[in-house]
Amino acid sequence: MTTKEEPAWLARVLSPVTEVRRGEAVTALLLTLNVFLLLTAYYLIKPVREALILQLEAGAEYKAYMSGAIAIALLAAVPAYAKVADRLPRGKLVVGVTLFFASHLVVFFGGSLIEALRAQLGLIFFLWVGIFNMMVVAQFWSFANDLYDPERGQRLFPLIALGASVGAAVGSKIAAGLIPIFDVYPMLLVAAGLLAACAALFRWVDVREAAREKARSSAAEPASDAPPAKEARRGAFRMVFQVRYLLLIALFSLIYNWVNSNGEYLLSRLIKAAAQDAVGRGEIGKAGVSAYIGAAYGDFFFYVNVLGLILQTFVVSRLVKKIGLGAAFFVLPAIALGGAVTFIALPVLAVLRVAKVAENATDYSLNNTLRQMLWLVTTRDMKYKAKQAVDTFFVRMGDVSSALLVGAGTQLIGLSLRGYAVVDTVLIVIWLVLAAAIVREHRRMAN
């Protein structure tokens, strides 16, 4: 469907989410569907990941240590991806990498059919998923950033990000419905099929947008789809450390994920303590602890998902339009700071639960959309290479930092719940300083 054939009513239907102009709706919807399928595939894979690793004798303990292993693996995976990005145009890159990961799922499914081999897949598959889920999502947003200029991206990204929010929720429900019927391992083939569909959508969008890009480019300017010139090629991590804007985003990604992971740890401790208190009061038996914890998390995820979906659908685009990207970038750290300070004063589950619902819902909606918008002002090279380093390695290092803090806090210094909240408060102040610096650099690069 060409721009001229695109019906005007499509843009009007999408107007409750964001402003969509004539000729923009089809591509935006294809990207929304793409990330929806991508997140659905990931949430189909997650139960398989849990089943494979938890069947190991020390599976739960292995899970706790895998963040560091994934971070180390990303030190090799990100430069490898950067080398491929140097050599391939946009379309071939995203289609090829997506099918590359899809083929692995078929291989893992074959391995799961062999009982002796299945017992050895847990750690390998957990490591693979830790790389896959971060790299393919980062690549999707690199592609979207490559398609749009800052003005269109700031308008359309709230709609596209809605696909991710819905995909995560739908994927979980589909997995819950299909696994009792087909078992966990066939979910790998379903996910592989969804990734193949994502590759087809990447191709469709790339071909559809190629004509517009060619028309906008003068004869003296190469199309944005072209890989960078050989002399301009730089490694992903080298680029991050050489460009101030990229380094600030990398540090921001590490800090905000560290804060979030700390909060998740506190929440898990308090929910477990609440379950033990319920046993002590005779409200549940010891056998009912798992069900109590599962129900508590079920309620928590329900409120996070519902609030996040409402924010993504009705608030994000309007907030960015009204106060601008710069001001909106301070909303999440302000919420996180308020939650941490309140928890220091009153360290109870009810306070933390409300704070984490607000924080996580805002993170999954507003913050996720804003993080993608930050890359609209960068070069193609930065979008495909530096973004992989930031959205995978530096985000994962936030998890590693939190794990190290928890290890030191529990084993060495006996850090109290309030103590963790104090650490979070300090980290959030650093986060706010980084946010201010990023906003200044963003304005400079946009001009």
Across 194-210, average pLDDT: 95
Quick check: 65 pLDDT over 90?
Answer: no
- d(CA 247, CA 344) in angstroms, rounded, equals 31
pTM for the structure as a whole:
0.89
Structure tokens at 34: 């793409």
Q: For 294-303, write each residue's pLDDT tens digit.
A: 788 878 888 8
Mean pLDDT score of the chain: 89
Q: Confidence band (pLDDT; 50, 70, 90) for 221?
A: very low
Alpha helices in 148-281 (DSSP H): 150-182, 187-216, 236-242, 244-280
Alpha-carbon dihedral of residues 398, 404, 407, 410, nearest 10 degrees? -70
Across 101-127, average pLDDT: 88
Q: For 377-419, write each residue's pLDDT tens digit.
A: 999 999 999 999 999 999 999 999 998 998 898 888 889 999 9
Q: Confidence band (pLDDT; 50, 70, 90) for 248?
A: very high
Across 328-355, average pLDDT: 96
CB contact at 8 A, 440 and 374: no
Structure tokens at 355: 């704070």
Distance between first and last Cα of the chain: 34
Across 174-198, average pLDDT: 87
Long-range contacts of 208-216 (CB under 8 A, 24+ apart): 208/26, 208/27, 208/30, 209/27, 209/147, 210/91, 212/3
Q: Exposure string (b/e) for 307-344, b if CB count within 10 Å is 16 or more?
A: bbbebbbebbbebbeeeebbebbbbbbebbbebbeebb
CB contact at 8 A, 162 and 366: no
Structure tokens at 275: 């379950």
Q: For 137-147, write each residue's pLDDT tens digit.
A: 999 999 999 99
